[in-house]
Structure 1
Amino acid sequence: MERALNFVVVSPHHPENFQLFASALRANGATVLGISDEPYENLSLRTREALTEYYRVDNMEDYQQMYQAVAYFAHRYGKIDRIESHNEYWMETDARLRTDFNVAGLKAKDMDRIKQKSKMKEIFRSIGVPVAEGRVFDDWDDAKQIVDELGYPVIVKPNIGVGASDTWRITSDEELSAFFVERNTATTFIMEEFIDGDIVTFDGLTDHEGRIVFYQQMLYDKPALDIISQNIDSFVHYPSEIPEDIIELGRQCVAAFDVKERFFHFEFFRLKTDKSLVALEINCRPPGGPMVEMFNFGNSIDIYDQYAQVILHQKFTADLSQRKNCGYVSRKRYNNYLYTQDDIYAWYGEFIVSSVITEGVFGDVGYFIVTDKVEDMTRVVRFIQELA
């Protein structure tokens, strides 16, 4: 009798929607083994039911404790087949554990090329993909040399970082001086030319051989840097129609980064001048926050179950022929909106498939919208975010 696949889930309870990965793996026959520092009794019923066994550590930042947890599972259940959190924060821990226990997937040696923006640029350039010009810098003189080459404005951000966190748009020597006063000195920063374009993404999932079995394109209504710095409403959209150029470029990038049996989230600029694409970065994980749910709503699928099938049965079985426009619209509690939630559902409830209470860049309240026509999506978004 063939044994069940042993899948170690790091931090199986967080974020909340990622609990469904553990549930789907268990439902498809995996032995699901959880590690976290959360007391077992604090885990949701869904998570407890999904886990074959749970190992609580005192501190997930202590690698030795994480190692001991996996060693215990290996002793009890046999060879560990997969280790995954799907979480950017634990990606290096995941990789180190895979390395030490000889588990398939990204290893410690792979982290630089998928974590450091400077290394990402090298891979993009190696396949002829344009990138934002710039590099890592050390001090004022080094930074000023880059400014002299690129000109203001420039973008400064951590060489290893997620999203727009700790990102600076610098337009003058005075602002550059302020950056050096206020920056986190423990962080290595990279400086890039400012690119006038819209951020678009190529998101999806690959199988064990690196073949793309699912993909989507995400569009932002405004830059993430503006959403964070100005604390404003946002809207992101997975369109039903995806341009061929981003599909082709996305395929090249997936191959170049050797993304296998993983979710991916590539970010590009689409230039406002000639509409060409410039590579920004790769994230070897699902898109953040509620965006994974948009995979499901926009395609009428269960991406958690499909991921489990890719891992356990090496197949993706969902019918992707019913793709529709799917949007996520946020609102801030402090804003005075013209229409109430009751108004929203009264006027456009037919298009709203779900809502969520959230925080941070994704707003305080978010609505998932599905439409056949882009015009309907635009009309609903304007209604929801219209201020009094």
Structure 2
Amino acid sequence: MSRPMNFVMISPHFPTNFETFAVRLHEAGFHTLGIADTPYHELSDTLRSHLTEYYKVDNMEDYDQVYRAVAYFAHKYGRIDRIESHNEYWLELDAKLRTDFNVFGYKNEDMLSIKTKRQMKEIFRDHGLKVAAGDVFHTDDEARALVQKLGFPVIIKPNSGVGASDTYKIKSTQELEEFFDYKTNGVEYIMEEFIDGDIVTFDGLTDHEGNIVFYSSLEYSEAVLDTVEKDGDMFYYVPREISKELVRLGEICVEAFTVKERFFHFEFFRVKATKELMALEVNCRPPGGLTIDMWNYANDFDVFREYANIVKDNLFEAEILRPYNVVYISRKANQHYVHSLDDIWAKFGDKIISIQSVPGVFAKIMGENGILARTTTLDEMRELVQYAQAKS
């Protein structure tokens, strides 16, 4: 009888909905070996009961401590088969540990291409994908010269960064000069031409050889930057229908970035004037928020279980029929809505999956309350969104 696979889970408690990875891996017979800096008694009952063992470190940023935790697990359970956080923040830590313990998956040398936007652009271009013009800059004068080439407005963001944090739309020389005063010291920034387009994503999961076993997409009511700037409502959804061109470009990206036995979340611009797709960036991890749960509701399957099967036996067994659009609708505390949450339940109860409060750290974008719902048609979805976000 072969031994159980040893799966080291970095920060398995965050975000909360990712705890299901530990549950499904444990059910599939893995040794689930958690490492984080949270006291054991603060972990949820569900997580505690589905971790084979938990190693608390004082500081996850101290590599030596995390290394010693993995070494302890290797000594006790044998060779480590997987190390994974599914979290953008720990991508480099995961890779460093995999390199040092010779574990399958992205290693140190892969980080440049999947973490830095400039390198992503080069890989996109090499594979025939269109990208926004832009480059990194290291001095104020380099930024001034670059904006002369690109023209206002421009987008400035960290060359290696997550989400919309530390990202700015600069519309004038004055705003650029002001940026020099508040930019974060020590951060390498990239400047890009502003693209008037909507963001659409190509997301999914690959098997051990890099074949796409499941794909999906996200469409947004507006850019995250705009939501933050005006502190208003937003919604985003998993559509039933996904364009063939998006799938084609997504398949190129999966191959270009050697995505094997991993979730992926690739962002594209759909240019408003021409409808063409331009590659924006790659994220070699699951989409954030509740998206991974939205996949389950959109397809009536369990992607956490399918992932465990892929790692264990390289098998994906679910039939993908896409019976629903699934939408997340934000409700902000600072808005005056015509309809209460109870009204929404009463009118659309057969379509509502859940209504939940959102932790403060995410509320600026996701709203203090989030409504998760599914519909068979986009018209039904739009009616629900308009009702939920109607202002008095």
Please name the residue that 1:93 is paired with: 93
Please name the residue that 2:130 is paired with: 130
CA distance in structure 2 between the aligned counterparts of 1:231 and 1:386, rounded to whole angstroms: 16
- Aligned residue identity for 1:257: F
Please name the residue that 1:254 is paired with: 254
- Aligned residue identity for 1:383: Y
CA distance in structure 2 between the aligned counterparts of 1:204 and 1:232, rounded to whole angstroms: 29
Please name the residue that 1:180 is paired with: 180
Unpaired segments ≥5 residues, structure 2: none
- Aligned residue identity for 1:369: A
Matched, 1:373 2:377: yes
TM-score normalized by structure 1?
0.99
Matched, 1:337 2:337: yes
CA distance in structure 2 between the aligned counterparts of 1:228 and 1:306, rounded to whole angstroms: 35
CA distance in structure 2 between the aligned counterparts of 1:154 and 1:243, rounded to whole angstroms: 28
Please name the residue that 1:240 is paired with: 240
- Aligned residue identity for 1:212: I
CA distance in structure 1 between the aligned counterparts of 2:323 and 2:200, rounded to whole angstroms: 18
Please name the residue that 1:349 is paired with: 349
CA distance in structure 2 between the aligned counterparts of 1:190 and 1:303, rounded to whole angstroms: 35
- Aligned residue identity for 1:83: I
Please name the residue that 2:113 is paired with: 113
Instruction: Return 69-78 or 346-355, whichever deviates more.
Output: 346-355
- Per the alignment, in what secondary structure is the counterpart of residue 350 of structure 1? coil
Matched, 1:382 2:371: no
CA distance in structure 1 between the aligned counterparts of 2:259 and 2:289, rounded to whole angstroms: 21
CA distance in structure 1 between the aligned counterparts of 2:12 and 2:133, rounded to whole angstroms: 38
CA deviation map 1:103-162 (0-9, x unaligned): 000011111110000000010000010001000001221111111111100000000111
Matched, 1:317 2:337: no
Instruction: Return 228-237 or 82-91, whichever deviates more.
Output: 228-237
CA distance in structure 2 between the aligned counterparts of 1:323 and 1:203, rounded to whole angstroms: 17
Please name the residue that 1:149 is paired with: 149
Please name the residue that 1:42 is paired with: 42
RMSD: 0.8
Matched, 1:55 2:55: yes
CA distance in structure 1 between the aligned counterparts of 2:21 and 2:197, rounded to whole angstroms: 34
Please name the residue that 2:74 is paired with: 74
CA deviation map 1:44-66 (0-9, x unaligned): 01111110011110111000000
- Per the alignment, in what secondary structure is the counterpart of residue 195 of structure 1? coil
- Per the alignment, in what secondary structure is the counterpart of residue 32 of structure 1? strand
Matched, 1:298 2:302: no
| TM-aligned CA deviation for residue 170 of structure 1 | 0.5
CA distance in structure 2 between the aligned counterparts of 1:316 and 1:228, rounded to whole angstroms: 38
CA deviation map 1:151-197 (0-9, x unaligned): 10000000011111111100111000000001101211000000011
CA distance in structure 1 between the aligned counterparts of 2:365 and 2:17, rounded to whole angstroms: 17
| TM-aligned CA deviation for residue 322 of structure 1 | 4.0
CA distance in structure 2 between the aligned counterparts of 1:163 and 1:90, rounded to whole angstroms: 14
TM-score normalized by structure 2?
0.98
After the TM superposition, list the runs of 4 or more consecutive aligned residues in structure 1 that deviate by more than 3 angstroms. none
| TM-aligned CA deviation for residue 285 of structure 1 | 0.5
CA distance in structure 2 between the aligned counterparts of 1:193 and 1:261, rounded to whole angstroms: 34
CA deviation map 1:347-374 (0-9, x unaligned): 1111111222112321111111111111
The count of corresponding residues between Structure 1 and Structure 2 is 388
CA distance in structure 2 between the aligned counterparts of 1:312 and 1:233, rounded to whole angstroms: 41
Instruction: Return 311-320 or 18-27, whichever deviates more.
Output: 311-320
CA distance in structure 2 between the aligned counterparts of 1:171 and 1:12, rounded to whole angstroms: 41
- Per the alignment, in what secondary structure is the counterpart of residue 260 of structure 2? coil
CA distance in structure 1 between the aligned counterparts of 2:228 and 2:287, rounded to whole angstroms: 17
CA distance in structure 1 between the aligned counterparts of 2:355 and 2:188, rounded to whole angstroms: 38
- Aligned residue identity for 1:157: K
Matched, 1:363 2:343: no
- Aligned residue identity for 2:366: F
- Aligned residue identity for 1:169: K
- Aligned residue identity for 2:318: A
Unpaired segments ≥5 residues, structure 1: none
CA distance in structure 2 between the aligned counterparts of 1:17 and 1:35, rounded to whole angstroms: 17
- Per the alignment, in what secondary structure is the counterpart of residue 109 of structure 2? helix
% identical equivalent positions: 52
- Aligned residue identity for 1:224: V
CA distance in structure 1 between the aligned counterparts of 2:364 and 2:284, rounded to whole angstroms: 22
| TM-aligned CA deviation for residue 318 of structure 1 | 1.0
- Aligned residue identity for 2:129: V
CA deviation map 1:289-346 (0-9, x unaligned): 1111111111111111111111111111112114311111011112111100110011
Q: Within 5 Å, which residues of 2 pair with 1:203-222?
A: 203-222=203-222
CA distance in structure 1 between the aligned counterparts of 2:69 and 2:224, rounded to whole angstroms: 37
